[in-house]
Amino acid sequence: MEILIISGLSGGGKSKAATFLEDMGFYIVDNMPAGMILKFAEFCAGSSSRYSKIALVYDVRTADSSDEFLTVLATLRKRDYHVRLLFLEADVSVIINRYKETRRMHPLQEKTGSLAAAVDMEISLMAPVRAQADVVINSTSYSTARLRSELLRIFGGGDRTGEMQVCLVSFGFKYGLPMEADLVLDVRFMPNPFYIDSMRHKTGLDREVRDYVFSFKETEQFMEKLRDLLTFVLPLYREEGKSVLVMAVGCTGGHHRSVAVTHALAQYITSLGYQVSENHRDMTRDT
């Protein structure tokens, strides 16, 4: 079982890190008191594979002293678990600015009377925890995308969980746009197989229809330009930190042209190394 403990300074990026790690397949528990960590680890170890990767957020909200946590951490490391401690921090000035932007109160501010003093106190309280960290990330200059990329590199385990997924949807304009779409392509300019009796009740997944749609010069030119566009923009979406990109391809009824193009795009995007899902929303509707 893999146990990742996320700790660090308030305003250092723990919440964002937890969100990204959840996308990578970790089961997240926030605000976990040190005294409960061992019992929870034992419960997960004896449960289903759902809990094979857990990430526990531990911070100053539950830490009157770091002694108990450090004892728990040492005990975990002696057991048959893969245990790592991630510590997130940022420069004091950056943390102060982040709190000013969100207008939230630092968890220690009532004790210290000022935000700056609260940050200094937290740095002192969490110093023993930081000293035990396997990974320390200073998020001062990190964009959201860079933080996600760094966590994926360190904790992704070599699999593709957490990488950007491209969801392709074919649809018929007469049934409305897919509300979840990030990009919408209109292929109604292509010749319509609906008007050919032998193809009317078939779909874009049938060879006869597919060959017909791609037999026209304008279709191939469109696909060539679209492949160039996707080769350019998909890495940019991924670097920006997007976890799911939904592309919708529409024709009139969602049976022929949009289905054929969507299926071809799914094959191409898969060849680029992305995770791809393919859904033909209106293909089974009556023509």
Query: Phi/psi of residue 184, each to 5°?
Result: -125, 130
Q: Per residue in 84-103, pLDDT tens?
A: 999 999 999 999 999 988 88
Mean predicted confidence (pLDDT) in 1-18: 93
The reply to whether 123 and 58 lie within a common domain is yes
Between residues 158 and 110, the one the model is more confident about: 110
Question: Is 60 exceeded by the pLDDT of residue 1?
Answer: yes
Band of pLDDT at residue 154, cut at 50, 70 and 90 = confident
Question: Is 70 exceeded by the pLDDT of residue 105?
Answer: yes
The reply to whether 191 and 171 lie within a common domain is yes
The encoded tokens of residue 272 equal 């680029």
Question: What is the torsional sign of CA 194, 199, 203, 207?
Answer: negative
The reply to whether 146 and 184 lie within a common domain is no
Separation between Cα atoms, residue 88 and residue 108, nearest integer Å: 17
Mean predicted confidence (pLDDT) in 13-33: 89
Task: Please report whether residue 287 resides in a domain.
Answer: no
DSSP 101-131: HHTPPPTTHHHHSSHHHHHHHHHHHHHHHHH
| pLDDT for the residue 33 | 85
- What size, in residues, is the chain? 287
| pLDDT for the residue 123 | 94
Band of pLDDT at residue 48, cut at 50, 70 and 90 = low
Could you identify the residue written with the tokens 């968890």? 107
Choose the final residue of a domain: 155, 180, 197.
155
The reply to whether 179 and 237 lie within a common domain is yes
Give every strand in the sheet of 275-280, ordered side by side: 183-186, 244-251, 165-172, 275-280
Between residues 1 and 50, the one the model is more confident about: 1
The answer to whether 58 touches 37, Cβ cutoff 8 Å, is: yes
Mean predicted confidence (pLDDT) in 234-261: 91
Mean predicted confidence (pLDDT) in 17-27: 89
CATH of the domain at 48: 3.40.50.300
| pLDDT for the residue 25 | 86
Flag the least confident range among 123-127, 143-147, 208-212: 143-147
| pLDDT for the residue 3 | 93
Separation between Cα atoms, residue 287 and residue 285, nearest integer Å: 6
In 89-194, where does DSSP find H-type helix? 92-102, 109-112, 115-131, 144-155
Choose the final residue of a domain: 93, 122, 155.
155
The reply to whether 54 and 143 lie within a common domain is yes
| pLDDT for the residue 160 | 53
Full-model pTM: 0.64
The structural domain count of the chain equals 2
- Helix-then-strand count for the chain, H and E: 10, 9
| pLDDT for the residue 165 | 86
Task: Please report whether residue 229 resides in a domain.
Answer: yes
Mean predicted confidence (pLDDT) in 175-204: 95
Separation between Cα atoms, residue 154 and residue 152, nearest integer Å: 6
Task: Please report whether residue 286 resides in a domain.
Answer: no
Task: Please report whether residue 25 resides in a domain.
Answer: yes
Taking alpha carbons only, the member of 162, 208, 178 closest to residue 17 is 162
Mean predicted confidence (pLDDT) in 141-150: 82
Task: Please report whether residue 262 resides in a domain.
Answer: yes
Task: Please report whether residue 285 resides in a domain.
Answer: no
| pLDDT for the residue 64 | 60
* Beta-bridge mates of residue 82: 2
Choose the final residue of a domain: 155, 184, 204.
155
Mean predicted confidence (pLDDT) in 69-84: 92
Question: Is 60 exceeded by the pLDDT of residue 197?
Answer: yes
Mean predicted confidence (pLDDT) in 21-39: 88
Class of residue 286 by CB neighbours under 10 A (exposed 0-12, middle 13-18, buried 19+): exposed
Question: Is 60 exceeded by the pLDDT of residue 207?
Answer: yes
The reply to whether 142 and 179 lie within a common domain is no
Between residues 120 and 240, the one the model is more confident about: 120
Class of residue 159 by CB neighbours under 10 A (exposed 0-12, middle 13-18, buried 19+): exposed
Separation between Cα atoms, residue 122 and residue 235, nearest integer Å: 38
Band of pLDDT at residue 60, cut at 50, 70 and 90 = confident
The reply to whether 10 and 139 lie within a common domain is yes
The reply to whether 149 and 175 lie within a common domain is no
Domain that holds residue 146: 2-155
Band of pLDDT at residue 159, cut at 50, 70 and 90 = low
